[in-house]
Amino acid sequence: MCGIAGVVRLREGCPAPSLDQLERMAASLRHRGPDEFGVYRDHHAGLAHARLSIIDLTTGQQPMTNEDGSWWVVFNGEIFNYVELRQELQAAGHVFRTRSDTEVILHAWEQWGEHAFWRFNGQFAIALWNAREQTLVLARDWAGVRPLYVCEHDGSLYFASEVKAIFSAEPSIPRAFDPAGFEETFTFWTIVPPRSVFRGIYEIEPGHVRVIGRGHVRDRAFRSLQFPVNGEPGFRGSIDDAAEQVRSVLEDATRLRMVRADVPVGSYLSGGLDSSLVAAMGWRAKGDRFRTFSLRFDDAEYDETGYQREMVALLGSEHAEVMVTREDIARAFPDVVLHTERPILRTAPTPLFLLSRLVRDAGMKVVLTGEGADEVFAGYDLFREAKVRRFWARHPQSACRPRLIERLYPYLARSPVAQQAMSRRFFGKDLHRASEPGFSHAMRWNTTSALQRLFAPGFRRSSPPGSVVDELVARLPAEFASWSPLAQDQYLEIRTLLSGYLLSSQGDRMLMAHSVEGRFPFLDVRVLDLANSLPPDFKLRVLDEKHVLKRAAQRLVPQSILRRKKQPYRAPDALAFVAPGARGWVEELLSEGAVRDAGVFDPGAVGALWAKCKERSGTGQYSNTDNMALVGVLSTQLLHHQLVRSVPAPGPAVRLRTRVERLAG
């Protein structure tokens, strides 16, 4: 895992990228790649790389070039099938000088062009540069595991793994919030690529390749989500056949992520099905001295220690755990926001920030995690909720059908189904829209959108016309309407939350904050293709989520974990900030002057929210809305302080291991 960055001149007359620029960009990404640094520079472009050495520790330095020096690459991520691709490329006549997956990218590009990215089974952000043709190629994996931002400014294009590297490259790049990015965040819980929350800065969309040449830009998808259409059979076989295939493909995906590394690989272990299954398969691939890492909470509502320790006892793994308190969350939260580079509505990333520090302190660089299982195998309560509401919508006057909502959200202390009359009114809204796109997510989006009442009037008016929901619906693929309702729901969940929140705020950014690479077997392209081909009732059987995955996990995971009620990962939100020890910096950021300076929220509304949260600190009774509102406002204020008012210093100058300059002639 690494950090990549670069600058490309888009028009004549612009200065060539300076060595100082490239070194600043690399230094700002030091946390992503502390092991070594390299740059390439010519008259038209510069590439920078900060490396976390995991594969081919001795000869895999970047930037790397092909045999004739025509193409250069910087690369963040892993291509897990690089050994197989290398053999195929060697048979086609390509000669290799290293054992790295980076060199495979170069030869694969030469051999297959843009189709190479479709053939990669991995997690990656890639930049390829050809000085002769003055062509830049940028590509990002299908799920958006690895980030990649671009910005055009004053005749040059800047790209980087993180926004702070772009800001550090050129002080004249405007640093301002984009209201449309905030409207997305306070609707979908996150921004949806290609948008960011910074004006003029965009993400390369997951599964896309962008080619920027002399006077032209081409952007296209090389891999997109596909599901069976119009009820046509995808997977042909029984539920038992499917479970066997899921187990086999997932086991190989886990094995690849264990063996394709020249450093030890451990595993996160939450105590739920997904991480327990991945840990079990990782242990089978590794054998002895397998390491696992877990979070504990001193708030019993969030703690899963008993299940974690049961799994540790079964595996016999070398286990480490970190206890997280409300005070720990408040203390680490500013650092978390600096790494997320976006507002967040939950504190849940913060304990994961602390967990990755535990991994790094243990001397580990790589861990497996269970992220992606809920999206790929339909594990979220939202999918069950949508199924119940569609069933109810067929007979809206039924007295029995709405009783099914009582089976939702059993883990919440303040569950929305606790009071029957209120829950029927809440979940019974808009049942006549059951066949419309976005029906599954509309309740969540509407609830989150209500937080926009906190926006300052001037900030709201500066947002472009139209709804971000309408914009999202307008961009749905043509075949969306021909998919099953569950497939539609899965698509929307992946499109809105997977890369922008789960894999960013809770995944890549929290791991790489402490130079740890996360690997995600459930996001293997073979697992994805198999899962998407399955009939809906294999994944969501009646209201049993991830049904086929539970069958696949038999004999690998204890029955207590297989049968337990789903408990999504959560952490204390408002409770973490109302304690006296945290109030000092929180009060400062939420003061009228600070809120007015940021310009996003109305100072009066923020003051009323903060007063309400302090008033309830004794009881700890916060609504879901109050929790999200406080965390969203506080993270925005931090982001303004950290990346708009100022740019964090990149730290000590980097020492370049690789430096190539082609400025003669």
Residues designated catalytic: 2
Helical ranges in 372-438 per DSSP H: 373-376, 381-394, 420-427
Say which residue the tokens 């209120």 belong to: 422
Inter-axis angle of helices 439-449 and 485-493, nearest 10: 40
Lookup: tokens for 334: 């500013």
Instruction: Please give the Cα distance from 61 to 55 (Å, whole number).
Output: 10
Number of Cα atoms under 13 Å in the Cβ half of residue 108: 26
Burial of 513 per CB tally in 10 Å (0-12, 13-18, 19+):
buried
CB 54 within 8 A of CB 262: yes
CB 41 within 8 A of CB 19: yes
Instruction: Please give the Cα distance from 371 to 522 (Å, whole number).
Output: 7
Lookup: tokens for 234: 């995808």
Helical ranges in 534-602 per DSSP H: 536-539, 547-552, 559-563, 580-589, 592-598
Residues near 166 by beta carbon (within 8 Å), at least 6 away in sequence: 5, 25, 149, 151, 158, 159, 160, 173, 201
Strand-pair category, 201-203 with 45-51: unpaired
Lookup: tokens for 307: 């299940």
